[in-house]
Amino acid sequence: MLADRPTFEDLYRDYMGRIYAYVRAQVSTSADAEDITAQVFMNAYRAYDRFETRNITPAAWLFRIARNATTDHFRAHGRRERLRRTIEHQPVAGEDPAGMAEERIQYRALLEFVALLPERQREALSLRHSGLSFEEVGVLMTCSEDAAKMLYHRALKALRESVRQGEA
């Protein structure tokens, strides 16, 4: 095993919940979030032997896989439909009531507003609040640390406006 690389078990234990939360902020159903999260860790498991911490932190590496998996999901399922459902705040057909009850989300409304942000803002904000540093956010979004900070702050202000309008 490479030096200072966590075991995959540790990685899973530390990040499974955070990856799920990140994905859940992007998609509209817990079932989709579970599928994508599962895919993320399947992909990560397959690629873990090749992962080296010299170039990227384990967190950034995992979130990059999560970001790619989420993009693949939208590509396959259509982002427009997801947005329409979110905007209309409709209950999603096929969302299992038991699953909804079991899923632990205390700020569902806030995450729905997050989902409405422009894509890059939403990602910057989600990655940052998933525990990544601005440097890591920048690496993932292929921009500088400062650019990531600006993107994040724009996202935060946009979110505040959305929440205000939603409350009005």
Partner 1 sequence: MSEDEEDIELRALQRQLDDAFETTRPRRGFEDQLWLRLQARRPFWRRVQDGLAAVVDRAREVPAVPAAAVAAVLIVVIGVGVVSLSGLKLGGAGSVATTSGVQPAAGNFAQALAPGSFGALPSPVLSSTSSSPLDFGPSKVATAPAADQSVRANPVYLGPTTLTWTGKLEVNATQAPVFRYQEPTGAFANQFAASLGAVPAASAGSGYLGTYSGQDFTMSVRSSSGAPPGEPTFALVPTGADRQASQNTPSNAALALLSAHNLAPSWVYTVSVGTAGDQVRVNFLRTFAIPGQGPAHLVDGVGDRYGLAVDLKGGQPVRAAGPLPLSLDSAAYPIITANQAVHAALASSPAGPATIDPSPAVNLTSAELVYAVVHSGDTLLPGTPGFYEPCFLFSGTFTYNGTTYLKRVLVPAVDPSQLNS
Residues of this chain that interact with partner 1 (CB under 8 A) are 9, 12-13, 16-18, 20-22, 24-25, 30, 33-34, 37-38, 41-42, 45, 97-107, 110-111, 114, 125-126, 129-131, 156-157, 159-160, 163
What the block records as the tokens of 129 is 């609040």
Q: Are 82 and 28 in contact, with CB atoms under 8 Å apart?
A: yes
Q: Which residues contact 108 (CB under 8 A, 6 or more apart)?
A: none
Q: How far apart are the first and last CA of the chain?
A: 55
Q: Which is nearer to partner 1, 38 or 87 (CB)?
A: 38
Q: Are 43 and 69 in contact, with CB atoms under 8 Å apart?
A: yes
What the block records as the tokens of 77 is 């399922």
Q: Which is nearer to partner 1, 84 or 108 (CB)?
A: 108
What the block records as the tokens of 112 is 């729905």
Nearest approach in angstroms of CB 164 to partner 1 is 9
Q: Which is nearer to partner 1, 45 or 78 (CB)?
A: 45
Nearest approach in angstroms of CB 24 to partner 1 is 5
Nearest approach in angstroms of CB 45 to partner 1 is 5
